[in-house]
Chains A and B, each alone.
Chain A
Amino acid sequence: MQVSADQAKCCGCEEATEEQLLLQLDDVLKEYADLPGALIPVLQIAQAMFGYLPEPALKKIALALNKPYSEVAGVVGFYSFFTTVPRGKHLVRVCLGTACYVRGGKQVLAALKDALRIEVGETSSDRLFSLDVGRCFGACGLAPVIMIDDDVHQRVKPAQLAKILDQYRDNHAAGNGNGGSDE
């Protein structure tokens, strides 16, 4: 069955709330309810709509397709393509390789958790940032290092973090996440 991301993009209203998206999902589910083999295509559409698979969407899907919730969850867990964790607009990764670790990477990570109010693997409540850790980005001489999307930030000090993050906040409206390397 063909899955189109178009179906998920309703009217270009990128800022649709999760409630609105759930209502749109109802329409999708109406179309697919009686089709055999609909589960995977519907999950793909839902993920394209929400950016991930939130629990309320999965429950709706289970009900509409008359599938046990455990089966729906099983299918989601089987394919690495599916994710149940929302992804932020920007992925912040903190290097915890040996060099970065001993030169303050740990403190940088702690400061980021504080600033974003999330743990590793989570996404900030404004959905702008997801936090992750990495093992060596190949810039040990300039440790500690963090990466935001494809940008490397070197010799980061906890005190600078607010400013660095703000660049991505400002750029967000322009749809341009390039903060650049600032050395």
Chain B
Amino acid sequence: MPKLTINNIPVEVPEGTTILAASRQAGVKIPTLCYVEGLKAIGACRVCVVELEGARNLVASCSMPVAEGMKVLTNSRRVREARRAVVELLLSEHNGECQTCDRNEDCELQALAAELGIREISYSGERTRKRIDSSTPALMRDSGKCIKCRRCVSVCMETQNVGALFPQNRGFETVIGPAFNHDLNTVACVQCGQCAAVCPVGAITERDQIEEVWKALDKPDNHVIVQTAPAIRAALGECFGYAPGTLVTGKMVAALRRLGFRAVFDTNFAADLTILEEGTELLTRLKAALTGNGSHGAEDAKSLAAAGAAAHEDHAAPLPMFTSCSPGWIKFMEYYHPDMLANLSTCKSPQQMFGAIAKTYYAAKLNKKPEQIVVVSIMPCTAKKFECQRPEMDISGTRDVDIVLTTRELGKMIRAAGIDFQSLPDEEMDAPLGLSSGAADIFANTGGVMEAALRTAYEIVTGRELPAENLHVAPIEGLAGVKEASLKVEKVKPEWKFLEGATLNVAVAHGLSNAQRVIGAIRSGEKQYHFIEVMTCPGGCIGGGGQPRYTNNDVRQDRINAIYREDEGKKLRKSHDNPDVAKLYEEFLGRPLGEKSHELLHTKYTPRDRV
């Protein structure tokens, strides 16, 4: 292990550690701009330069590994001046006004200028050309504010395996954007917003729809209701100074009520509903594969692997089945794997199930027409803004979900309303679409949908509770990119006889490049799974593109821990125990996968051209 000193502090770190990482370990902070934790350091911005004793040139600490005997200075006059020069140059080209910028107060460029004590800019030159791209439902891009750090390029390419953004042209003319600097809707962007999540400045943000919500609330004839996704409660607090991982469910409900929503409902309710539909769908697909109750039955009914392979050719309902809650993932499949769309569960996402139920079942209870109800969603996700505008999402006769706000937008709205969030009381969700189980809570994080589905499917098949400690399936928890588990199904109920002794293989992936890896392994025949959960964003929804910035792995883990606490704190832990969901079936839907469910809660996908 190389020994070195950083500002005369001795440090010993493993070979290959960067100077930046070693400094953090020594408690020395070095500013960075282009560097993103977990992604390849590209050394483009040179904000992180440090001085090495005896070396002529300053080096970029984010990409330079330590060496034995190095003497690093992070705060010499030379270093300070070089950093200032870099940031002053960026500021001299920067074409934006902080006072009216979406990022005012959480802008990294602003913070860096303050940190370096920059009070005037000694360069003057041409400003970056401003071009606003508002072509997509989810995102806004402002090239004038872009500092060309390329974080978005790296995340879109490495984390999401999409590559919608890339430097175009060269020199001062360089623009970071889609092919030929056309609008984002001309390339295969999945609208996940991870680019907006890592952008240090206001160059990529969600489309701001706060005003649309105010307008809806202003109209007295509107019945405006709100649903909140599972991941909001573990992150919204960060907008108000709480530490990451603080649960603010009760205060969130109170704040929404004070904003004027007629009813505060829970996407979690629809998550429980999703589990009943999706769990039943999985069992149906397994049955078709195992009993030959499809066009290609397996010869050896005991072999789930053979069944999977056979069912893959059965276009009606092939295995493996992928989850379908995450709209970025759906769009990814539509672009990149249109031949596997039949492998996606036909279940709508919880957001869209909620909309469909709110504007039919709930509307009828109120004696209202669907058009009189406005459904607002609070989502951790930018892709949900895209999803609610998909043409087929109007089964109620109008848009099933009208407006989607991100967690960040809700934070802004609460502040604009002058609500003192910290001093709010804890309040409860409204009935009949507000009650949910712990299984619904964990939809917020990677592995959660799978665990929730297993809690229900296993019990349906065996009549016994999932044999896992505290109902947690340990191998699929945590932040590893691809996780796997196998579950042996024994002593089944008579009607599920065909599953006796079978082993169910499941996989969980988060971040689309990990999903791509899983698909690669399936296509090559290296892996056989029956059920796969995919969430578009790293960590799952808690790490979504609409969550408070800045989300790194520590923050992800804190939010995940909070979600499991919420789950464990509930008496109801399993979706099929949710009495209000049971009532919904009784009064309205009939049974899972029944005719009414099929019409309202299931959907079809659209192959799309990648270029």
Contact = CB atoms under 8 A, between A and B. Distances in A.
Which 4 pairs of residues, A with B, have the shortest CB-CB distance?
A68-B163, A73-B179, A74-B166, A70-B166
B167 A68 contact: no
Given A77-B170, A77-B180, A70 B610 contact: no
Contacts of B165: 70
8 contacts: A62-B610, A69-B179, A69-B187, A69-B188, A70-B168, A70-B177, A73-B178, A84-B180
Residues of B in contact with A, size category: 10 to 19
A62 B180 contact: no
Contact of A72 (B157, B162, B167, B179): B179
Q: Which of A70, A73, A74 has the most CB of B within 10 A?
A: A70
Contacts of A84: 180
A86 to B, nearest CB: 15
Given A67-B163, A69-B179, A73-B179, A62 B168 contact: no
B170 A78 contact: yes
B357 to A, nearest CB: 38
Contacts, number: 48
Q: Is the interface of B mostly helix, strand, loop or mixed?
A: loop
Interface string B130-172: 0000000000000000000000000001000011111111100
B168 A68 contact: no
A182 to B, nearest CB: 40
B59 to A, nearest CB: 26
A175 to B, nearest CB: 33
Nearest to B180: A73
A63 B166 contact: no
Given A62-B611, A63-B610, A77-B180, A70 B163 contact: yes
Contacts of B166: 68, 70-71, 73-74
Interface of B: 157, 162-170, 177-180, 187-188, 610-611
Contacts of A78: 167, 169-170
A65 to B, nearest CB: 11
Nearest to B164: A70
Given A59-B611, A63-B610, A63-B611, A70 B179 contact: yes
A159 B218 CA distance: 66
Contacts of A63: 610-611
Nearest to A78: B170
A90 B168 CA distance: 29
A121 to B, nearest CB: 15
Contacts of A69: 179, 187-188, 610-611
Given A59-B611, A63-B610, A63-B611, A68 B157 contact: yes
Given A63-B611, A71-B166, A74-B167, 6 more contacts: A62-B611, A69-B610, A70-B168, A70-B178, A70-B179, A71-B163
Contacts of A71: 157, 163, 166
Interface of A: 59, 62-63, 67-74, 77-78, 84
Nearest to B179: A73
Contacts of A73: 166, 168, 178-180
A63 B163 CA distance: 13
A141 B180 CA distance: 42
Q: Which of B166, B169, B187, B610 has the most CB of A within 10 A?
A: B166
A78 B162 CA distance: 20
Contacts of B610: 62-63, 69
B162 A68 contact: yes
Given A59-B611, A62-B611, A63-B611, A70 B187 contact: yes
Nearest to B173: A77
A59 B611 CA distance: 6
Contacts of B180: 73, 77, 84
A72 B177 CA distance: 12
Contacts of B168: 70, 73-74, 77
Nearest to B177: A70
A73 B611 CA distance: 12
Nearest to B182: A73
Nearest to A56: B611
Contacts of A67: 163
Contacts of A68: 157, 162-164, 166, 187-188
Contacts of B167: 74, 78
A68 to B, nearest CB: 3
Contacts of A74: 166-168, 179
B610 to A, nearest CB: 7
B171 to A, nearest CB: 10
B117 to A, nearest CB: 36
B179 to A, nearest CB: 3
A92 B167 CA distance: 32
A69 B179 CA distance: 6
A73 to B, nearest CB: 3
Nearest to B189: A70
A70 B153 CA distance: 10
Nearest to B161: A68
Contacts of B163: 67-68, 70-71
Q: Which of B162, B165, B168 has the most CB of A within 10 A?
A: B168
Nearest to A60: B611
A62 B179 CA distance: 11
B169 A77 contact: yes
A71 B187 CA distance: 11
B181 to A, nearest CB: 8
A8 to B, nearest CB: 22
A126 B548 CA distance: 55
Nearest to A68: B163
B516 to A, nearest CB: 11
A73 B187 CA distance: 11
Nearest to A55: B180
Q: Which of A68, A71, A84 has the most CB of B within 10 A?
A: A68
A63 B431 CA distance: 50
Nearest to A61: B611
A77 B166 CA distance: 11
A59 B610 CA distance: 9
A71 B610 CA distance: 13
